[in-house]
């Protein structure tokens, strides 16, 4: 059994490494590819982890070894993006800390060709990062006009490695099937994919590992990679 689990872990890691080669642009609309003038683009910094868009968990590209941002391409309309702040900060010597915030809601309402970004006041040191995680807020900015819209509370709690999967108000989010496209809030909702039978305990090993990995801190991921290399 230990050998099987180890092989599954290695397979899951290979899947994650392959995902890192994906484009920083993620298309989240149905149908044939559209030009930039026909889509709404939302830029998301790597420090923001998206939980849901319009109450749906999306199949977001992995940015484990990437730096910078990811651009979401959406059909024009209104979107409620629930996301939380997470960042690794180096402390003195070899110590470090990972800070996570409670999720907040970024509301984007845009037309084709418009470009928005999700933003926040970036901390300059670990102390500021800790304060930001405890009191996180941000805004949505129209790149062309500079107009901003502040975030609102999401009602969800700060996610963790295990609590987000088995307890608390983020559990339902973690168990939702991921989708590859999201309809605007003002359009007719698309049929939701059928949920897997049973609860988290019935998930396959690989699915569970992917879920655990998505919730792990940077240090937890490093520890896992060191263990694989042994």
Residue numbers in the chain where pLDDT is lower than 70: 1-23, 60-67, 93-94, 159-172, 174-175, 187-212, 214-215, 226-230
CB 62 within 8 A of CB 109: no
- Regarding pTM above 0.75, the answer is no
Q: What pLDDT shows up at residue 21? A: 47
Q: What pLDDT shows up at residue 185? A: 87
CB 217 within 8 A of CB 98: yes
Q: CA–CA separation, 122 vs 134, rounded Å?
A: 14
Q: CA–CA separation, 54 vs 213, rounded Å?
A: 23
Q: CA–CA separation, 107 vs 81, rounded Å?
A: 6
- Look at strands 40-45 and 69-74 and give their pairing: antiparallel
């Amino acid at each position: 059994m230990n050998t099987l689990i180890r092989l599954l872990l290695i397979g899951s890691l290979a899947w994650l490494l392959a995902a890192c080669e994906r484009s920083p642009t993620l298309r989240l609309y149905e149908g044939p590819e559209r030009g930039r003038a026909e889509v709404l683009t939302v830029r998301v910094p790597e420090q923001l982890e998206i939980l849901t868009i319009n109450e749906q968990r999306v199949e977001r590209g992995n940015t484990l070894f990437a730096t910078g941002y990811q651009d979401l391409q959406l059909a024009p309309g209104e979107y409620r993006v629930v996301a939380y702040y997470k960042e690794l900060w180096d402390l003195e010597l070899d110590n470090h800390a990972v800070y996570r915030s409670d999720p907040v809601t970024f509301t984007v309402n845009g037309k084709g060709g418009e470009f928005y970004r999700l933003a926040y006041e970036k901390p300059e040191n670990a102390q500021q990062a800790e304060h930001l995680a405890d009191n996180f807020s941000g805004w949505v900015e129209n790149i062309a006009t500079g107009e901003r819209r502040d975030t609102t509370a999401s009602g969800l709690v700060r996610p963790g490695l295990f609590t987000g999967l088995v307890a608390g108000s983020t559990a339902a989010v973690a168990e939702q099937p991921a989708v590859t496209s999201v309809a605007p809030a003002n359009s007719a909702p698309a049929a939701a994919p059928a949920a897997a039978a049973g609860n988290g305990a019935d998930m396959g090993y690989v699915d569970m590992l992917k879920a655990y990995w998505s919730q792990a801190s940077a240090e937890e991921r490093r520890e896992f990679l060191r263990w694989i290399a042994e």
